[in-house]
Structure 1
Amino acid sequence: MRQGFDNDKYIELQAANIRKRIAQFGGKLYLEFGGKLFDDHHASRVLPGFEPDAKFRMLQSLVDDVEIVIAVNANHIEKAKVRGDLGITYDEDVLRLIDIFRSYGFLVGSVVLTQYAGQPAADAYRQRLGQLGVTCRLHYPIAGYPHDIERIVSDEGYGRNDYIETSRPLVVVTAPGPGSGKLATCLSQLYHEYKRGVQAGYAKYETFPIWNLPLGHPVNIAYEAATADLDDANIIDPFHLEAYGETTVNYNRDVEAFPVLKAMMETIMGKSPYASPTDMGVNMAGYAIIDDEACREASRMEIVRRYFTACVNFKRTGEGEDQIERLRSIMTKAGVDENLSPARKAALDKEQATGGPAGAMVLPGGRVVTGKTGELLGAASALLMNVLKAVAGVDDALSVIHDDAIEPICRLKTEHLNSVNPRLHSDETLIALSITSASDPVAERVIDGLEQLRGCDAFFSVIISATDEALYRRLGINVCCEPKYEQASLYHK
């Protein structure tokens, strides 16, 4: 796909600026990581060329100086809060993150349970962490937070929290999701460090909104679309404008919280090192954009994807109608509508012509390929096969999967797994194609086309199965669905 972002330049600039911040504070920095530290697919979609693990790779260049602390809200553990993109609970995701960090040589110092108030599930989790050899610390709710600064910055506030012992100059505070208490963890540590006579500082690693792009830039508008459920809004940072006469972009919650945060840092450190919320951020993403129009185009597509995702979620759960309305407003602001991708019209036209669910995909060169539901392949499987043949230069009329590879899978599904639908899901189709490729060089050539589909946009005329959607996402294909089901049932798997 067309590249708009220089990933290597970003990593180099970001690492250099973090080192500069560490030096600014005398050799100790607590760095709050906003968004996803690992698997940042939103950034990779709106900044084509940004690798999903770019932030992780940047930290690898500092690995000997880095210690990681993972914050998780005890209330989220009690409520078994689930990470939407992975489908696992926050407490399980903490363990997943620890494994990933350690596998790359990072020191994971501690897990901190924030907002701890004796929740039974949190106590069970503490015990589990102890059995796994993971250090766990507790941070407690503070009465009057965040406005009663005198209480917060005292022995009754941050002073009650467990002190997290750290040994490295850069302490990265991350979490499985929002609302985990990363900022409070950083400030609590600052309080304890200064009580111990240790100089330390705080900064925030936040990719979006990009402070040195215009307020109405599609990349920044796409961030509003991504956080439509939180009702976030990008605004001009008034503190930065007043202090420096420079217009920068931040988001409302950081701007609203800044006076309180500044007062806390003044109480802890004697003087706030920052005159604005923009000052707090370490974000060089804007300087790594090499093709502005490519990023604008990608961001507009992301805004529309967020709209369809919200519509499908509303169809599935009956919740989030206000989010849909907000996304409609955001689309208007960005100057786009639901027909931005030519794949939507192609899929709906194909469904009308064939009388069954259909899909379409836009290939890197702009060509639109369609797929329809058949006797043995569903719409997602048929589309995948058609686009693979297209990128491999294979005649669309040629069957590249042998019947003796498809039929055993169909029989297994219907005769042994009690499925009423013999059609192959897209993952099963790839297995059949792989079996065929062992004896057919054309099938092998078709499989080799999978990597060329990364970053492409697919649209389906109905909500596809979770199995098909998961496979497409693993292939790096962006998926949108019309918010309707294939069948008029009340229960849908």
Structure 2
Amino acid sequence: MRQGFDNDKYIELQAANIRKRIAQFGGKLYLEFGGKLFDDYHASRVLPGFEPDTKFRMLQSLSDDVEIVIAVNANHIEKAKVRGDLGITYDEDVLRLIDVFRDHGFLVGSVVLTQYAGQPAADAYRHRLEQLGITCYLHYPIAGYPHDIEHIVSDQGYGRNDYIVTSRPLVVVTAPGPGSGKLATCLSQLYHEHQRGISAGYAKYETFPIWNLPLNHPVNIAYEAATVDLDDANIIDPFHLEAYGKTTVNYNRDVEAFPVLKAMMERILGESPYQSPTDMGVNMAGCAISDDEACHEAANMEIVRRYFTAVVNVKRTGTGEEQVERLRSIMKKAGVDENLSPARRAALTREQETGAPAGAMVLPDGRVVTGRTGDLLGAASALLMNALKAVTGVDDAARVIDESAIEPICRLKTEHLHSVNRRLHSDETLIALSLTSADSPVAARVIDGLELLRGCDAFFSVIISSTDEALYRKLGINVCCEPKYERVSLYHK
């Protein structure tokens, strides 16, 4: 796909900027890490060339200086809060994160339970961590937070929290999701370090919005689309404009919280090192954009994708109309509409021609291929096969999968697994293709084309199954669906 972001340049600039910030505070920095650390697919979609694990790789270049602290809210443990994208609870995700970090050579120093107030589930989890050999600290609710600065920054406020023992210059504070208490953890540590006479500072690493892009740049608008459920809004940072006379972009929650945060830092350190929310950030993504037009196009596509995700969610759940309305406003601000991708028009036209669900995909060279529902393959499977044949130069009319590989799967589904639909899902189609490839060089060639579809956009005339959608996403193919089902029924699985 057309690249608009210099990944290597970004890693180099970002690591250098973090080292500079560590030095600014005398050799110790608490870095609040916002967003996803090693699976940032949103960033890779709106900044083509940005790899999903770029931030992780950047930290690896600093690994000898990095220590990771994971914060998790005790109330989230008590309520068994789930990460929507992974389908696992926050407490389980903490363990997953620890494994990932350790597998890549990072030191995970500890876990801190924030907002701890004796919750039974949190106590059980704390015991579990101890049994696993993981150091666990407790941070407590503070009366008057965040406005009673005098009480918060005192022995009765931050002073009650456990002091997290750390050993590295860069302490990355991350979490399984929002509301976990990363900022409060960083500030509590600043208080304790200052009480001990240790120089330390705080900074924030948040990729979006990108502070040195215009307010209405599509990349920043796409961030609003991505956080529509949080009511985040990009705004001009008024504190930065007043302090330096320069226009930068931040988001509303950081701007609203800055006066309180600045007052806390003044109370802890004697004076605030920052005059604006923008000052706190260390992100250098805007400096690594190599093709602004490519990022414009990619971000506009992401805005439309977010819209279709929202309208499909309304169809599935009956909730979220207000998010759809906001996304319509966001699309209008970006100057795009539902028909931005030629795949939509192609899919709907093919459905009209065949009278059955259909899909379409825009290939890396700009060609649009379609796939229709047939006797053996669903629309998602047919589209995947047609796209693979197109990118590998195999004749569209060629039968690539041996029927002897398809029929046994169909019989298994209907006769033994009692499925009413004998057509193959896209994952089953790939299994049949793989079986055929044992004796067919053409099938093997087609399989090798899977990586060429990464980053492509697909559109379907109906809501596809969760199985097909998951397979497409695993392949790195972006999926949108028209908000309607193939069948008129109340229950859809």
Common topology (TM > 0.5): yes
- In the alignment, which residue of structure 1 is the partner of 2:399? 399
User: Counterpart of 2:423 in structure 1: which amino acid?
Assistant: R
CA distance in 1, matches of 2:148, 2:432: 64
Structure 2: state its 5+ residue gaps: none
CA distance in 1, matches of 2:356, 2:117: 54
- In the alignment, which residue of structure 2 is the partner of 1:110? 110
User: Counterpart of 1:18 in structure 2: which amino acid?
Assistant: I
Structural mapping, 1:61-210, within 5 Å? 61-210=61-210
User: Counterpart of 1:186 in structure 2: which amino acid?
Assistant: C
- In the alignment, which residue of structure 1 is the partner of 2:314? 314
- In the alignment, which residue of structure 2 is the partner of 1:277? 277
CA distance in 1, matches of 2:489, 2:119: 40
User: Counterpart of 2:167 in structure 1: which amino acid?
Assistant: S
Which string of whole-angstrom CA distances, capped at 9 and with x for unpartnered residues, describes residues 386-419 of structure 1?
Answer: 0000111111111100011111111111111111
The CA deviation at 1:128 is 1.5
Structure 2 SS opposite 1:210: coil
Structure 2 SS opposite 1:172: strand
Does 2:221 correspond to 1:215?
Answer: no
- In the alignment, which residue of structure 2 is the partner of 1:416? 416
CA distance in 2, matches of 1:259, 1:182: 18
Which string of whole-angstrom CA distances, capped at 9 and with x for unpartnered residues, describes residues 186-242 of structure 1?
Answer: 001101111111110000001111000000100000000011111111111111111
CA distance in 2, matches of 1:138, 1:376: 57
- In the alignment, which residue of structure 1 is the partner of 2:481? 481
Which string of whole-angstrom CA distances, capped at 9 and with x for unpartnered residues, describes residues 342-398 of structure 1?
Answer: 111111111111111111100011111111111111111010000000111111111
Structure 1 SS opposite 2:235: strand
The CA deviation at 1:160 is 1.1
CA distance in 2, matches of 1:321, 1:134: 43
Percentage of pairs with the same residue: 88
CA distance in 2, matches of 1:165, 1:463: 50
Does 2:63 correspond to 1:59?
Answer: no
Structural mapping, 1:444-463, within 5 Å? 444-463=444-463
CA distance in 1, matches of 2:116, 2:357: 49
CA distance in 1, matches of 2:253, 2:112: 23
The CA deviation at 1:135 is 1.2
The CA deviation at 1:101 is 0.3
CA distance in 2, matches of 1:79, 1:377: 42
Which string of whole-angstrom CA distances, capped at 9 and with x for unpartnered residues, describes residues 131-164 of structure 1?
Answer: 1111111111111111111111111111111111
User: Counterpart of 1:157 in structure 2: which amino acid?
Assistant: G
- In the alignment, which residue of structure 2 is the partner of 1:336? 336
CA distance in 1, matches of 2:481, 2:468: 12
- In the alignment, which residue of structure 2 is the partner of 1:25? 25
Which string of whole-angstrom CA distances, capped at 9 and with x for unpartnered residues, describes residues 219-273 of structure 1?
Answer: 0000000111111111111111111111100001000100000000000001100
- In the alignment, which residue of structure 2 is the partner of 1:434? 434
- In the alignment, which residue of structure 2 is the partner of 1:491? 491
CA distance in 1, matches of 2:451, 2:76: 37
Structure 2 SS opposite 1:77: helix
The CA deviation at 1:492 is 1.2
- In the alignment, which residue of structure 1 is the partner of 2:44? 44
Does 2:349 correspond to 1:349?
Answer: yes
- Taking structure 1 as the reference length, the TM-score comes to 0.99
**Range that drifts further, 105-114 or 70-79:** 70-79
CA distance in 1, matches of 2:117, 2:373: 53
Structure 1 SS opposite 2:489: coil
Structure 2 SS opposite 1:12: helix
Structure 1 SS opposite 2:391: helix
User: Counterpart of 2:226 in structure 1: which amino acid?
Assistant: A
- Taking structure 2 as the reference length, the TM-score comes to 0.99
- In the alignment, which residue of structure 1 is the partner of 2:468? 468
Does 2:240 correspond to 1:236?
Answer: no
CA distance in 1, matches of 2:144, 2:350: 59
How large is the RMSD of aligned CA atoms in angstroms?
Answer: 0.8
The CA deviation at 1:451 is 0.6
User: Counterpart of 1:73 in structure 2: which amino acid?
Assistant: N
Structure 1: state its 5+ residue gaps: none
The CA deviation at 1:91 is 1.3
Structure 1 SS opposite 2:166: coil
Structural mapping, 1:4-23, within 5 Å? 4-23=4-23
**Range that drifts further, 228-237 or 134-143:** 134-143
User: Counterpart of 1:99 in structure 2: which amino acid?
Assistant: D
Moved over 6 A (4+): none
User: Counterpart of 2:470 in structure 1: which amino acid?
Assistant: A
CA distance in 2, matches of 1:71, 1:308: 33
Structure 1 SS opposite 2:366: coil
CA distance in 1, matches of 2:369, 2:90: 39
Question: How many aligned positions are there?
Answer: 493
User: Counterpart of 1:149 in structure 2: which amino acid?
Assistant: I
The CA deviation at 1:125 is 1.3
Does 2:319 correspond to 1:305?
Answer: no
Structure 2 SS opposite 1:204: strand
The CA deviation at 1:318 is 1.4
Structure 1 SS opposite 2:36: coil
The CA deviation at 1:25 is 0.3
Structure 2 SS opposite 1:311: helix
CA distance in 2, matches of 1:112, 1:119: 14
CA distance in 2, matches of 1:78, 1:331: 38
CA distance in 2, matches of 1:281, 1:228: 22
Which string of whole-angstrom CA distances, capped at 9 and with x for unpartnered residues, describes residues 148-189 of structure 1?
Answer: 111111111111111111000000001111111110010011
Structural mapping, 1:282-297, within 5 Å? 282-297=282-297
User: Counterpart of 1:484 in structure 2: which amino acid?
Assistant: K
User: Counterpart of 1:251 in structure 2: which amino acid?
Assistant: Y
